[in-house]
Structure 1
């Protein structure tokens, strides 16, 4: 496993192309796909709970993905200005909707994630009954109290406890170095923000 030393430049964040603003009530999947509820103001790339930026940050280059010669894409979750969870994906030959995939996993902060891992969901957008789960890394379902997952962003209220962390969107993640069972709430924490960065 790599030590995760590659991180966005905390000062100017020039390689961050997307940043989730938790609690703003706006869809993260629509923001990523269509730019709904987003801003291109570069000041909103700052990894903080910057209340002056109400929209999710989205760099317009996302719409030109095929011209970017993307090598590596990192999805990261931040808590108290620290990167607490991440996965690196192989971006070569990808598209802006086809990079967050099992076969593209290169490395992760989680010790048990690899391209041979088993997931029931590893998707940017997952609609499961009433649940609207985004950037979702899930291993298996066990009736809400026994679900096993790594992390999830939730856009609106659903049936499980981690679908009910308001205000939305909210980010839940395993704070262990492995997948965690949702019956053990002490193994989860809530992210301040999440970002997509290009390397």
Structure 2
């Protein structure tokens, strides 16, 4: 019955709920694609599941902004999903779970934005997911925690946006504080999809994932104050 349930989940895109018969005749269960170990079955007993739904590797030529906004969801099979989320293997494209485009259908408790270097998490931002869309969750008002002491819900920011329209989408997941011209700008984090008007956005390959080293915002024009991450992962904390 487990395989029938899995097939139902794939075909219907109803990844949340599946009634298992046989040995689980008395209980409703959730069947869930666990990217680190195939399919798992969870009781629906107010469980919270953290599920990676988006990943891009640095320097592979993929537009992070376009992939998040309009990219076609990835194939849903155990092998490809496990491989797509293996941080030891850089992606040549992107991984996107269909949940991203069905955002409003789910009870999302939190959204977790992570950057990784050498498979180690170097940035972790937590956002409230309640009442959000796939575009609105990334905002200062939804921020629950950050690794920087001066980035909090009352921080002074000039930009906190998933997609920065006025620079032709070259900056995404952009958190900036001081906007004073290219040499004076200060911020915490940005995903750069290509070179824009500021020289500090230059990279030998794109996308580039820049994050402020230490515990406070940094001067973008000083490359020594920023790290370059290998992977970007967005995960959802789902209430089942």
Q: Structure 1 residues 12-21 or 182-191, which shifts more?
A: 12-21
User: Does structure 2 retain, via aligned residues, the 8 Å contact 1:100–1:122?
Assistant: yes
Deviation at 1:16, TM superposition (A): 0.7
Greater radius of gyration (CA):
2
Aligned CA distance change for structure 1 residues 143 and 12 (closer, same or farther; 3 Å): farther
Q: Give per-residue Cα distances to partners, 1:73-107, cap 9 Å, x unaligned.
A: 01111111111112110001111111001110111
Deviation at 1:35, TM superposition (A): 1.3
Structure with greater helix share of residues:
2
Deviation at 1:12, TM superposition (A): 4.7
- The size of the alignment, in residue pairs, is 188
Residue 84 (structure 2) aligns with: 44
Is residue 179 of structure 2 the alignment partner of residue 144 of structure 1?
no
Deviation at 1:116, TM superposition (A): 1.2
Residue 60 (structure 2) aligns with: 24
Deviation at 1:10, TM superposition (A): 9.2
Q: Which runs of 5+ in 2 are unaligned?
A: 1-33, 39-49
Residue 4 (structure 1) aligns with: none
TM-score by length of 2: 0.72
Is residue 69 of structure 2 the alignment partner of residue 33 of structure 1?
yes
Deviation at 1:159, TM superposition (A): 2.9
Is residue 122 of structure 2 the alignment partner of residue 91 of structure 1?
no
SS at match of 2:65: helix
**What RMSD, in angstroms, separates the aligned Cα atoms of the two structures?**
2.1
SS at match of 1:25: coil
Q: Which segments of structure 1 move beyond 2 Å, counting only runs of 4 or more?
A: 9-14, 38-41, 127-131, 159-162, 182-185
Residue 162 (structure 2) aligns with: 124
- Matched ranges for 1:94-173 at <5 A: 94-129=132-167, 132-173=170-211
Q: Distance in 2 between matches of 1:12 and 1:187?
A: 37
Aligned CA distance change for structure 1 residues 12 and 124 (closer, same or farther; 3 Å): farther
SS at match of 2:170: strand
User: Does structure 1 retain, via aligned residues, the 8 Å contact 2:175–2:187?
Assistant: yes
Residue 5 (structure 1) aligns with: none
